[in-house]
Amino acid sequence: MRVLRFLAATRARLNTRSARRAGVVLFVALTAWLGWRILRAYVGSPDVLLADTSWTEATRVLARDGRLLGERPSAAGLRGQPQKLQDMGTRLVAATIASEDRRFYDHDGVDRVALLRALASDVRHGSIVSGGSTITQQLVKRLDYRGRARPRTFVEKIREMARAQNLEAHASKEEILEAYMNRLDYGRGLAGPEAAALGYFGVHARDLSLAQATLLAVLPRAPSALDPYRHRERAIGRQRALLLEMQRVVSGADVERALAEPVVLRDPRAPRPFLAPHLVLARAKSGKRPEIRTTLDLDLQSDLEGLVRAHMARMQSRDASTAAVVVVDNDTGEVLAEIGSASFSDARIHGAVDLVRAPRQPGSTLKPFIYARAFETGISPMQMLADVPTEFGAGAGHSYAPENFDGSFLGPVSAREALAGSLNVPAVELAAKLGAKDVVAVLRGAGLPLTGGAERYGLSIALGSAEVTPLELAEAYVTLARGGEHIVLREIAEDTQGAPVAMRILDASAVAAVTDALSDPLARVRGLRARGPFEFDYPVAVKTGTSTAYRDAWTCGYTHERTVVVWTGNADGSPTRKLTGAAGAGPLFFDAMKRAMRDVKVRAPLSATDLLEDAVVCPLSGERAGSACPDQVHRVFPRGHAPASACHVHQWASARPASVGEPPYQCNLHGNTRIALLPDNFAWWLDGKPTGAPGSDSHDIPWFVGSRVPGCTQASTEEPRIELVTPMDGSVLRAERDRALTSDALDVAVQTRGMPAREPLELVLDGRVTARLDPPYRTRIAIGRGDHVLEVRPMDRERSAMLGRAQISVR
């Protein structure tokens, strides 16, 4: 009995001890479970990061037909091309699971069997040789650290496991596997299956063979150490080991074939596509999408690049080293081609500089917009303008005296010829009438930013004192090609859905008159001394431009369908050897426009025929031809604005006795001699020529200032006046030192309006008569340093006239 009681007591003590142990175990288990849940709640889930692939994705820039132009790596230096799991191919997916996580579909983000195996291995080796990480854990690391190295600590491992389980609770196995594979680094900057397959084998991921797929599957373990180009044997060894492990999921015959298949890698030196490099860089830098389909026509682009190289070989003798070209579809505003330099890789010409987007002085290429605005205000395309030496005042002490590129002046010229021949004084005169503010507003409306105010540019804006890029200038010329409607250019195909938003900034008839002038080869002859290299088989409106010191040579033009802008010069802004727009950019423009129009099957007229009307006019006056006009021409005018009055410039005259330098004619309706009577603003220019300006008229008709010829009904009725052209009132100047004088020498130039021909004048300096002035009213006087008052008055004290007067300071 004593023994039985002892056994019973012992059993009771053991049961109590077991219960306590069980309680402790249960408590510990519950505490661990609760702690783990709290930890999981604390560390959160990385599922919100699944959508962020920016650090692995390259920006791919495509032509309009989908061909690859080039790609730029991500900020992490990777060139990934994310794709759906079903597009990766079953072989690579299976090989990756076999290599990284065979129990992927059997765990909840943490593989406890793999952890125990890794722990045993680490204990056996005395160091960490395996972490037992699952695909989900590896994805967590890549999401959290964007491919960068992470701390290898116990705490970090626990955090990673918790976030992996949370990820598994929020995303499916397929979503996790797809995200993981798209973020795998396969070495050489290749991220994801598609980029790796194309990079190493030149095939899509779905087309990989089993041998190729298993080689790729082992690379993410150690991309550098297993680089198949540098460590081929090591990489092939790992591949073969993986193939043998896969026999449980792949037939033995497939494995044998894969083991026997030679692994042929793509030549690593094979260049990646990098076409239209300046566009690729510009779009990749500004684009937010990983794949950007541009509007670029790759065939046209390639042909134009060849033309640029050929033409620049010709330009080297003129010290021009590079060029830029833009081609636009006028209907849609799509940029079909853009060339930023003659050679992107040539450092000698700074080829990497994107000259399509580089601000340059546009020279005379802005003149068509001034003329279009002037025609809009009622100025006739045939109106006679004065291409004569002229100073435009811009306030006290400031003046602007433009000259033509060759230093000559043509005298009377029609507006359309002044535009086509790129004459400077008429353009500035029109800009002065319109006002710099109005001119700048028109140019901005056409698409030119012109960030400075109108006062910054002044009247010199007419001659291209601002800076614009070829791309901006192309947008402005598309406005002309569309008859005064402005649209924004498009380089991205996704932006071309639907018709472009058009805004009218110029009257269509006025623009049609500009287009008519720019497309008439004969209209260019007087100003350019030639037709230029623009003999097309179809109408093309063309305008050239040359900037200060011959740094920029431009040719811009358009048909109804295409606009082409060409710039030539040097990327560093150094001057060329007197290369003009016509001679420099013109030949390249001719070839570029011909190539661009080759793809246009049906060609429409430059302008709608109902915008203009025809009239027979005198080519000199631009008015209806009268009986004294020696010639008549057909010209077009904005509809409703054809001239109604008869020519008043040509008059019948008869001879009369006259003093030297005076017109030897008087107007006479019954006379038998034709003469041409010009306004008073031609006086100074005519005074510099022999009487009648012989040879200036194509019919040898003498030209005179109308107010100086007796008996002419059209003689000026304006109040007689004397104008000091040089120096201007308020001028502060440094007079030119003349060695023959003890003081400084000052040039004086005067012109008269509404006064008799050859009227002698006298020059009064500080109240003392200093010199007599006879036509052409120019002289040089001695003048001391200091402040002075200069007056010019008629020698005949009975003559009434407004006197020329200027207060100047000589320093």
Indicate which residues carry an active-site annotation: 100, 364
Q: State how far the alpha carbon of 319 is from the alpha carbons of 350, 364, 568, 574, 575, in Å.
A: 14, 21, 10, 9, 8
Phi-psi region of 215 (alpha: psi -120 to 50; beta: other; left: phi over 0): alpha
What are φ and ψ of residue 726, in 5° steps?
-140, 130
CA distance 42 to 159: 10
Burial of 587 (0-12, 13-18, 19+ CB in 10 A): buried
Helix (H) or strand (E) holding 705: strand 703-705
CB 281 within 8 A of CB 309: no
Edge-to-edge strand ranges of the sheet holding 761-765:
732-733, 804-810, 786-794, 761-765, 768-773
Q: Strands 736-737 and 744-753: what pairing?
A: antiparallel
Q: What single string gives the DSSP state of each residue in 137-190?
A: HHHHHHHHHTTS-----HHHHHHHHHHHHHHHHHS-HHHHHHHHHHT-B-STT-
- Could you tell me which of 259, 85, 238 has the C-alpha nearest to residue 176? 85
Contact 324, 355 (CB under 8 A): yes
> What does the DSSP 8-state code read for residue 356?
G
Residue 630, beta-bridge partner list = none
Residue 660: strand, helix, or coil: coil
CA-nearest of 538, 549, 606 to 578 is: 549
Provide the residue count of the chain: 811
Six token digits for residue 255:
């494995």
DSSP letter for each residue of 522-588? GGGHHHHSS--S---SS--EEEEEE-GGG-EEEEEEE-SSEEEEEEEE-TT----SS--HHHHTHHH
CB 563 within 8 A of CB 550: no
> Which residue reads 């003469």 in tokens?
675
Count the Cβ atoms, other than its own, within 10 Å of residue 276.
25
Q: What is the Cβ-side half-sphere exposure of residue 405, based on CA atoms within 13 angstroms?
A: 23
> How far apart (Å, rounded) are the C-alpha atoms in residues 172 and 688?
92
Whole-number Å distance between alpha carbons of 482 and 489:
13
Q: How far apart are CA 553 and CA 576, in angstroms?
A: 9
Instruction: Report the C-alpha gap between 54 and 47 in whole angstroms.
Output: 15
How far is Cα 336 from Cα 297, in angstroms, rounded to an integer?
Answer: 5
- Cα–Cα distances (Å) from 641 to 370, 379, 612, 634, 636, in that order, read 18, 9, 9, 14, 10
